[in-house]
Structure 1
Amino acid sequence: MTTIRDVAKKAGVSVATVSRYLNDSGYVSGEAARAVADAVKELKYELNPVARSLNTKKTNIIGLIVPDITNPFFPELARAVEDVALTYGYTVILCNSDENPEKEKNYIETLRKKYIDGFIVTSNQLDAPHYANIPLPIVALDRAINANIPTVASNNREGAGIGTRALLERGCKKILFLRGPEELNPANDRYEGFMDVIRHSGIEHHVAICPFHFTESEKIVESILQEQKDIDGIFASSDVSAAGALKAANTLGISVPDELQIVGFDGIAMGEMLSPGLTTVAQDIYKMGAIATRVLIKRIENQTEEQHFYEVPVELKIRGTTRSVEE
């Protein structure tokens, strides 16, 4: 196996010069650089990435921490992060925290020891002070962590208002709002957006705390619909919860959208696969992941940040779980 000493001998320079050239960590004259490059090519020398990371403390690896990989929203985010990272020469390590703060912290500490270059984090914690003390670039994705960490997110409050108005415009008289976990900022913002519209509508409404999980959402909605048979609209603060609501309606023999209209929030691809297709307040999931990755790489490479908060617009996508306005 060819070593750095073999390259130095072939190029007629010192081992230190070869190291500086390979790691781009100091001055190397043009003549010496050409000699080393020729020696590397002739000897087919490959720099050990582990050895390089020990020398430079840089690995071109990004950690992506998500709370629940079974929620289709997060694999779609991960795809965008990976696509963009690869174009800049970075590799992504995906970590699933299972909505567990201790597991989240463990991932961070473990990857820091491996000389990770930075993190993109979707945290389930409203208050995460441990991130403020990490001496590495971090970008918060979908959910803000603290004021000192750049954040990429959608306008959740405005989006919830759009979704609520869509149900009102289609004649709903009693709406069930499936509020996400109270410890999540996006869920709280969506609740506020719902209430912004409902307060001025005068219509009857019901709010239920509902996790972003299909099975739990199905059970919660089925129970509520059995007790309150006059609910004619559901606005769910995630598409996964909306899918659970649709399944519950189907189980109870409630026709969607004739008897019950449903609107979700996220815009995941799964929504188009449902029958009927899910009307949703769609986030540009790919764009969110792409922006977060570019912002993080800029921070890793000590480039100037254009801004600290990036808000991605949302869009109402009408499909089969709602009627037309004319109806």
Structure 2
Amino acid sequence: MSSIKDVAKLAGVSVATVSRVLNDKGYVGQSTREKVEKAIKELNYKPNEIARSLFKKQSNTIGLIVPDIMNPFFPELARAVEDMATKLGYNVILCNSDENREKEQAYLDVLKQNYVNGIIVSSNTLTAEQIGELNIPIVSIDREISKGLPTIVVENKKGAIIATRFLKNKGCKRIGHIRGTYGVVNAEERCEGYTDVVAEEPWFRKSYIVNGNYDMESSVEATRELLCLHPEIDGIFAANDIMAMGAIKAAYQLGKKVPEELAIIGFDGITISTIMTPELTTIAQPIYEMGELATTILVSLMEQQSIEKTYYTLDIELIERKST
């Protein structure tokens, strides 16, 4: 592998001159620049990006912090971010925070130390104060952190209303809800949407709502408890697809047939929902579009371009499959 010294020797110039050409800093005559560029091409020299980042105090890199890489929603989102970042000439560093405040702050510190140009983050713990201290462009996705911060979300409450009404229209007489983590904005909005539809029903009880914590195994236990307490339930709206899959597993364990005895609908539209049995009916988010949009906005901010607006609410879509 060639070094910067090899380039300087072949071009007949100093290492400092090669560095000025690479970093486009300082004056270099046209003929000298051409000799350096020719030497770089002949030697197939690849600059040390870490060293360049230290010199320029910035890099062609953006950070992506997600709360749970085990949830297929976030790898799909990461794929969209990476695809768009690559098109725009940037690399991506992926960080999994586990919704842990200390771990998230540690990642923020590492990303800043590596001179990332900007960060896309999905967080329920990051504060406006932490954002201000970073002093680099930030875009929030899936969850709102603070007013004025560029944010991309979907119609969570609307989607929950559509899901719950869909179950009613399918003939479900008693509909339960497996909610997401307490305190997470989209979980609260989806729970509100469900409640808006069923609150006036004579059968409704608060015990028809259980916490699946946005996790498959937690939702298995939550669903078992729900169905044991309320065996009359014939429909379940789960606040994400992973929990809906957990609900299907619990139904199988309890000997309930899906959808004949229990209809189940999720929320997200992750790819894996199409390959399970039965295939999952879901409220689909435009996951790829969210990732593309977040990256485009972030790069615009990093390159000091104006953006159309700071708050984007994308629509959702009901996709009916075999679980209902």
Deviations 1:152-188 (A, max 9, x none): 1111111111111111111112111111112101111
Q: CA deviation at 1:68?
A: 0.9
- Give the equivalent residue in structure 1 for 2:37: 37
Aligned length: 322
Q: Aligned residue for 1:251?
A: 253
TM-score, normalised to structure 1's length?
Answer: 0.91
Contact 2:211 2:219 in 1 (8 A): no
After TM superposition, give the deviation of residue 46 of structure 1 in Å: 3.3
CA 1:318/1:39 → structure 2, altered by over 3 Å: closer, same or farther? same
Q: Does the 8 Å contact 1:143/1:186 carry over to 2?
A: yes
Q: How does 1:281-300 map to 2 (within 5 A)?
A: 281-300=283-302
Change (3 A) 1:314 1:202: farther
| Residue in structure 2 matching 1:317, options 310, 313, 319 | 319
Map residues 31-180 of structure 1 onto 2, 5 A cutoff.
31-125=31-125, 127=127, 129-180=129-180
Tell me if structure 2 keeps the 8 A contact 1:159–1:193. Answer: yes
Distance in 2 of aligned mates of 1:25 and 1:192: 56
Aligned residue identity for 1:151: T
SS of aligned partner of 1:178: strand
RMSD value, Cα: 2.2
Query: How does 1:134-283 map onto structure 2 within 5 Å?
Result: 134-199=134-199, 204=204, 206-283=208-285
Distance in 2 (alpha carbons) for counterparts of 1:110 and 1:319:
43
Report the Cα distance in structure 2 between the residues aligned to 1:44 and 1:275, rounded to whole angstroms.
51
Long gaps (5+) in structure 2: none
1:281 counterpart SS class: strand
Deviation at 1:132, TM superposition (A): 2.6
> Take 1:8 and 1:155, find their aligned partners in 2: how far apart are those partners?
57
Q: Which amino acid aligns with 2:113?
A: K
Q: Give the direction of change, closer, same or farther, for the CA distance of 1:43–1:240 in structure 2 (3 Å limit).
A: closer
SS of the aligned residue for 2:209 comes to strand
Alpha-carbon distance in 1 for matches of 2:195, 2:40: 65
Is the contact between residue 160 and residue 194 of structure 1 (CA under 8 Å) also seen in structure 2? yes
CA pair 9-159 structure 1, distance change in 2 beyond 3 A = same
Aligned-residue identity in percent: 48
CA contact (8 A) 2:173 2:234 kept: yes
Counterpart CA distance in 2 for 1:126 and 1:63 is: 15
Q: Deviations over 1:219-265 (max 9, x none)?
A: 11111101211111100101111111111111111121121111100
> Is the Cα–Cα contact under 8 Å of residues 295 and 305 in structure 1 kept in the other structure?
yes
TM-score by length of 2: 0.91
Deviation string 1:200-226 (CA, Å, 9 cap, x unpaired) is 666635222221111110011111101
> What letter matches 1:184 in structure 2?
V
